Amino acid sequence: MTTTDRILYSFRRCPYAMRARLALVVSGTACELREVKLADKPQAMLEASPKGTVPVLVLADGPGDGLVIEESLEVMRWALARNDPEGWLERDDPALVAQSDGPFKRALDRYKYPNRYDDCDPLPHRAAGLEFLQRLDARIGGQGQLCGDRRGLADAAIFPFVRQFANHDRQWFDAQDLPHVHKWLAGHLESPLFRTVMQREKPWQPGDAPVAIAL
């Protein structure tokens, strides 16, 4: 098996790509990492996945040869189904992840990028996002993580988006009464796993030597 038997098109700061990388690394899944410049997406990626968003995992080994996985949660569950040393699949909550990917992400986008939307006041969307974080805070306070006392799929799927929300106005976020969310987020950001998946690479070009995703 070589890293080029699996290729991950990714963008370092994209929360969807982050959570895919988290699952690939924690599962020990070797693959070639191709960092994408979103303003200049490589043709090879667009040929594999015309929708043009990251992450995209291209499989070219054994059963499923030529399979393309285009959704981050599918990448996570595919990798963890192969190898799940920390038992992440046991600590999943699809309904909570759907709330994060749906209403919370909608609020996040309008809070962070109000100019992309017609007549958009970001403050009500910030308030909507805060309501979701307050629910997370109550849940984490009783157990430490979202689905128990250890990190799992739900935590890895959601915290990259909470990170993005927090970083838009860190002073305001830090002033909110979210003690458990603050501690939970800091723990994930300071973890060796997160530091590993945030490896910096230059945008991939055809002919570049393969770069392995850090394991």
- Phi and psi, residue 55, nearest 5°: -85, 160
Q: What is the mean pLDDT of residues 83-98?
A: 98
The DSSP output letter for 202 is P
Q: Please give the pLDDT value at position 169.
A: 97
Q: 126-161, pLDDT tens digit by residue? A: 999 999 999 999 999 989 999 999 999 999 999 999
Q: Please give the pLDDT value at position 142.
A: 87
Domains present along the chain, CATH in parentheses = 3-86 (3.40.30.10), 88-192 (1.20.1050.10)
Rounded-to-integer distance, Cα 128 and Cα 113, Å: 15
Query: β-strands 68-69, 6-10: how paired?
Result: unpaired
Residues linked to residue 58 through DSSP beta bridges, in sequence order: 7, 68
State the average pLDDT for the chain.
Answer: 94
Owner of token pair 């490896």:
199
Tokens at residue 108, please? 């996040």
Q: Please give the pLDDT value at position 214.
A: 87
Rounded-to-integer distance, Cα 108 and Cα 168, Å: 9
Answer with the residue of higher pLDDT: 2 or 211: 211
Whether 142 contacts 151, CB under 8 Å: no
Q: Please give the pLDDT value at position 4.
A: 55
Q: Please give the pLDDT value at position 61.
A: 55
pTM of the predicted structure, to 2 decimals:
0.94
Q: Where are the alpha helices (DSSP H) in the chain?
A: 15-26, 43-48, 72-82, 94-99, 105-112, 122-141, 153-168, 170-175, 179-189, 192-197
Q: Residue 18's pLDDT band (boundaries 50, 70, 90)?
A: very high
Rounded-to-integer distance, Cα 203 and Cα 42, Å: 9
Q: Residue 20's pLDDT band (boundaries 50, 70, 90)?
A: very high
Side by side, the strands of the sheet bearing 6-10 are 32-35, 6-10, 56-59, 68-69
Q: 163-215, pLDDT tens digit by residue? A: 999 999 999 999 999 999 999 999 999 999 999 999 999 999 999 999 999 88
Q: Please give the pLDDT value at position 2.
A: 45
Whether 133 contacts 71, CB under 8 Å: no
Q: Please give the pLDDT value at position 65.
A: 54
Lowest-pLDDT range of 17-31, 49-63, 148-162: 49-63
Q: Give the max Cα distance, the chain.
A: 52
Q: Residue 34's pLDDT band (boundaries 50, 70, 90)?
A: very high
**pLDDT(66) > 70:** no
Alpha-carbon Rg for the chain in angstroms: 18
